[in-house]
Structure 1
Amino acid sequence: MKRIKYFYKLLFSYVFILLVAFILLSVLFLSLAENLAYKTKVEELTSYGTKIISELEKQEMDVRAVKLKHFSSILHARDTKFFIFNEKGEIIQPSFRLKQKPLLSEAEWKKIQHGETLQIKRDVKRFEQPVSVVVLPYMKDSELRGGVMLTAPIHSTLQIVTELNRYLLITACITFLIVLVVSIFFSRSLVKRVQRLRQATAMISKGQYDVQVPIGQYDEIGLLGDDFNNMAMQLHKAQKEINRLEKRKRQFIADVSHELKTPLTTINGLVEGMKNDLIPEEKKQRCFEMMEQETKRLIRLVNETLDYEKILSNEITLQKEEIEVKEVFEVISEQLELQAEEKGNTIGIDVPASLFVYADYDRLLQILLNITKNSLQFTENGTIMLRGKEERQMTIIEIEDTGIGMDREEVSAIWSRFYKADTSRTNSYGEFGLGLSIVKELVKLHNGTIKVKSEQDKGTTFIICFPR
């Protein structure tokens, strides 16, 4: 089946509707004009007939004859004729050549007998040419005594109608040309907008989601274009998110593989050495300790990775309660006391005894231990201060160290998973770069905020705010 283009459909519909409207209006106008012309002629004849009837009612025959003769000459000049008939319908004066006899039909004669005026706008049967006819009865004592019939040819009216038809034909041709030009313009405009949508859709199907369609007018097509742009924007965002997740997945696999490689290589080397008796007996105990350490390191990596993924997947449920901050600080100080002494560091506590925080105890301890461990790793012969205070319905915890500090780039990057602040050292933020990522997500779960203030060679301060 052959397809008709949308452009031609629109063009045909525009032209058809406008032409039909013009034709209907033209027919209505011609009908009104013709009726008005005939009505004017009939009213004129009725006016003449009324004056003639008034003369017939006069008794003086001489005066009546003179008046009728005067009317005859006036009406003749206006191409109008009249004749008088008696109560039987017979013409009294003057004589006319009739194409039809009797003068009036039975139905028409009954109307005359009842005193009704008969008006015929167009008659082609009774006379030699088409005329307008008016018949007025002459009544006396409620009885018909005769009447008068007036006729006027309608060729002038027909000429007017013909002239109107000619002008309307010219107007119709001009209108058709205008309608055709306007219809082509609007059809092309609409088709162009639809084609833009089609081209954009084709780009979307090819995976180009950053396309935007010009809206223009806010009609139905404009609203469709707006919806299309919103759809394309959402698809573009979704594609970016998919790419980001894919990149994150690849990065995660690469990072985990890298972190697993070192302890696995160490364990494998030690096992191969012991298997082939390459390690002296006195060093085997040290080998077992190293394998134990690397195994624990692998376990911590797996646990931290699983912990982080659980947080991102909202699989962790917090058991919040009122916790005394000073008590938590003392637990941290006791657990990390040996690590601090190894590097010549001291852990100080500055917190009011009545300060409480509304949080999950285990997760709060995990947050503060991770941060404090990082501070210990990057501080030598210094101080790590654990502070607590309350401001504006917020419990604020600060962990300040006098370590090596960080520059601005490092401060903005430490929250990224597997990021290591100093790759030249064995120590790193969270050993595997996961610690601070977990800290940030756990703080978010508590509806809190965390920020860092740091300056190179002057130390770092972590500020955590928990809502009361």
Structure 2
Amino acid sequence: MKVKVKYLYQQLASHVSVIVIAFLILSLLFSHYVEQFVYDSKTEELATYGQTILRDLDRNPRNTTGTLQAYEHVLDGRDIQYILFDEQSAIIYSTELKAPVIGLLSEEEWQEIKNGKTVTVKQDFERFDEAVTFVLLPYIQHNQFVGGILLTSPIKGSREVIAQMNTYLIFTMILALVVALLVSWILSNFHGKRIKRLREATSLVAQGDYTVRIPSANVDEIGELAGDFNKMVEKLDLSMEEIESLENRRRQFMADVSHELRTPLTTIRGIIEGMRNDMISEEEKEKGFQLASNETMRLIRLVNENLDYEKIRSNQITLLKQDIQLVELLEIIKDQLDGVAAEQQDKIIVDVAPHVTVHADYDRLTQILINITKNSIQFTDNGTIFLRGYTRDDMTVIEIEDTGIGIDPEDIEKIWGRFYKAIVSRTTNPYGEFGLGLSIVKQLVTMHNGTIDVTSEKGKGTKFIITLPN
């Protein structure tokens, strides 16, 4: 079984551990430094007094005893004792110690002082009645060793100074530890709450709630994480909306396709059953065959338009762009659709200058213009369809305008939707077919890096404006 430790306690333990370790290291270093400083100061003081005494003895050799007694009174107040001895280690003058100096010094120390070197011992616990710091200085006259002076001072006072410093240090460490604990608890609790908010928000997202947001600030990594979390949830929210929209479109697509397939298939099945059961007379058979052929072509067009639409959506179509004489293309479209227009008592008029060209894929541009022109013919009776073209600012503009029934303003954006006309045809639209044409047109124009706009007035006509870059 795994033991769970709260983030708050982890942070507290981490901060306190760091602080304690840091203070221990600093305390040891500081204590060592203070101790070193105290003993260095004491040995320096003793050496200074010893040098001063020896210098004054050289200046006043006739009053040696008076000089030494004068210094005795001064140094006694500072708890410093000294011994002046000759080159044989015999004591010349002592403030307290009477034992021969040679018994106090090691052979190595005696040799060093005879060689004119100063000997310092910061702590000595064995050779004197108490633990002392002592300094041994050589007495040199006319470059000859004539003796030396030994100065001692109890280390009791030094220890008291060091102990007092350590006491202050311990109090400081305890105070700093308390403050650090308080600050650490506040910060850890604050960050713990922020992490808890993130965990709760994550749980809500896991349950399907994509509206949750977390206050974020780019002051630290947790704030940046909250900001990234909000961005992630926003994208998930948009993705879910898109998925829902796609699912709705899929269901609508299946319903639309089923509807569009049902009508021609029912017609074809009725014709076949009628012929099989000899319910259609000989003179009506040709008419039945023609109707079946028309419905079959209608099914083929539906399948082809759906294939085109899916190819365009999945970028499976490659455009082969070239410069095209626009007047020739529009005249070809007019010739192809004049018969269809005549059935509606419509006229097609081409209005474009001979020099106008357009840079596009010939087959796909033809598909675009035929789709729009057929659409205009379909919704125009006894009217005119204008095919215009001109250049503007390195762009070619193509207009298809009719004098038909027009489009309601609120329906203009809907015409680009897949099966829009099929939906309308089930209610009020007496015209036909599948409603895929304009959806394909929109995709193809976009593939050409162009734009297509529509203006319309109910009862007065509609104008499609295609703008393609040259």
CA contact (8 A) 1:319 1:360 kept: yes
CA contact (8 A) 1:100 1:126 kept: no
Task: Give the corresponding residue for 2:467.
Answer: 465
1:41-190 equivalences in 2 (<5 Å): 41-57=42-58, 60-61=61-62, 63-94=63-94, 96=97, 102-190=103-191
1:39-438 equivalences in 2 (<5 Å): 39-57=40-58, 60-61=61-62, 63-94=63-94, 96=97, 102-420=103-421, 423-428=427-432, 431-438=433-440
Separation in structure 2 between the aligned mates of residue 99 and residue 3 of structure 1, nearest angstrom? 73
Alpha-carbon RMSD across the aligned residues, in angstroms, is 2.5
Q: What is the percentage of aligned positions where both structures have the same residue?
A: 48
Separation in structure 2 between the aligned mates of residue 97 and residue 213 of structure 1, nearest angstrom? 86
Other structure's SS at 2:416 match: coil
Separation in structure 1 between the aligned mates of residue 100 and residue 205 of structure 2, nearest angstrom? 83
Separation in structure 2 between the aligned mates of residue 41 and residue 366 of structure 1, nearest angstrom? 106
Separation in structure 1 between the aligned mates of residue 269 and residue 389 of structure 2, nearest angstrom? 46
Other structure's SS at 1:132 match: strand
Change in CA separation of 1:133 and 1:328 when aligned onto 2, cut-off 3 Å: same
CA contact (8 A) 1:117 1:136 kept: yes
Question: Residue 192 of structure 1 aligns to which amino acid in structure 2?
Answer: K
Separation in structure 2 between the aligned mates of residue 271 and residue 464 of structure 1, nearest angstrom? 45
Change in CA separation of 1:100 and 1:144 when aligned onto 2, cut-off 3 Å: closer
Task: Return the offset for 1:211.
Answer: 4.5
Separation in structure 1 between the aligned mates of residue 416 and residue 242 of structure 2, nearest angstrom? 19
Number of positions where the alignment pairs a residue of Structure 1 with one of Structure 2: 465
Task: Return the offset for 1:207.
Answer: 4.3
Separation in structure 2 between the aligned mates of residue 334 and residue 66 of structure 1, nearest angstrom? 143
Task: Return the offset for 1:418.
Answer: 0.5
**In structure 1, which of residues 443, 446, 461 is the aligned counterpart of residue 445 of structure 2?**
443
CA contact (8 A) 1:452 1:463 kept: yes
Change in CA separation of 1:100 and 1:235 when aligned onto 2, cut-off 3 Å: farther
Task: Return the offset for 1:118.
Answer: 2.0
Other structure's SS at 2:382 match: coil
- The more displaced of 32-41 and 290-299 is 32-41
CA contact (8 A) 1:99 1:126 kept: no
Separation in structure 1 between the aligned mates of residue 267 and residue 309 of structure 2, nearest angstrom? 26
Separation in structure 2 between the aligned mates of residue 394 and residue 72 of structure 1, nearest angstrom? 113
CA offsets, 1:91-112, max 9 Å, x none?
2333526699712111111111
Task: Give the corresponding residue for 1:33.
Answer: 34
CA contact (8 A) 1:98 1:126 kept: no
Separation in structure 1 between the aligned mates of residue 318 and residue 55 of structure 2, nearest angstrom? 113
Separation in structure 2 between the aligned mates of residue 415 and residue 368 of structure 1, nearest angstrom? 15
Task: Return the offset for 1:212.
Answer: 4.2
Separation in structure 2 between the aligned mates of residue 218 and residue 181 of structure 1, nearest angstrom? 22
Question: Residue 93 of structure 1 aligns to which amino acid in structure 2?
Answer: Y
- The more displaced of 142-151 and 91-100 is 91-100
Separation in structure 1 between the aligned mates of residue 55 and residue 363 of structure 2, nearest angstrom? 123
Separation in structure 1 between the aligned mates of residue 59 and residue 403 of structure 2, nearest angstrom? 138
Task: Give the corresponding residue for 2:456.
Answer: 454
Other structure's SS at 2:434 match: helix
TM-score w.r.t. length of structure 2: 0.90
Change in CA separation of 1:318 and 1:37 when aligned onto 2, cut-off 3 Å: closer
Separation in structure 2 between the aligned mates of residue 354 and residue 290 of structure 1, nearest angstrom? 45
Separation in structure 1 between the aligned mates of residue 435 and residue 419 of structure 2, nearest angstrom? 4
Separation in structure 1 between the aligned mates of residue 109 and residue 254 of structure 2, nearest angstrom? 109
- The more displaced of 26-35 and 83-92 is 26-35
For structure 1, list consecutive stretches of 5 or more residues without a partner in the other structure: none
Other structure's SS at 2:108 match: helix
Task: Return the offset for 1:279.
Answer: 4.1
Separation in structure 2 between the aligned mates of residue 317 and residue 71 of structure 1, nearest angstrom? 112
Separation in structure 2 between the aligned mates of residue 66 and residue 29 of structure 1, nearest angstrom? 44
Task: Return the offset for 1:137.
Answer: 1.4
Separation in structure 1 between the aligned mates of residue 280 and residue 170 of structure 2, nearest angstrom? 116
Separation in structure 2 between the aligned mates of residue 97 and residue 175 of structure 1, nearest angstrom? 52
For structure 2, list consecutive stretches of 5 or more residues without a partner in the other structure: none
Other structure's SS at 2:72 match: helix
CA offsets, 1:335-384, max 9 Å, x none?
22233222222111211122222223322222212111111111111111
Separation in structure 1 between the aligned mates of residue 317 and residue 40 of structure 2, nearest angstrom? 95
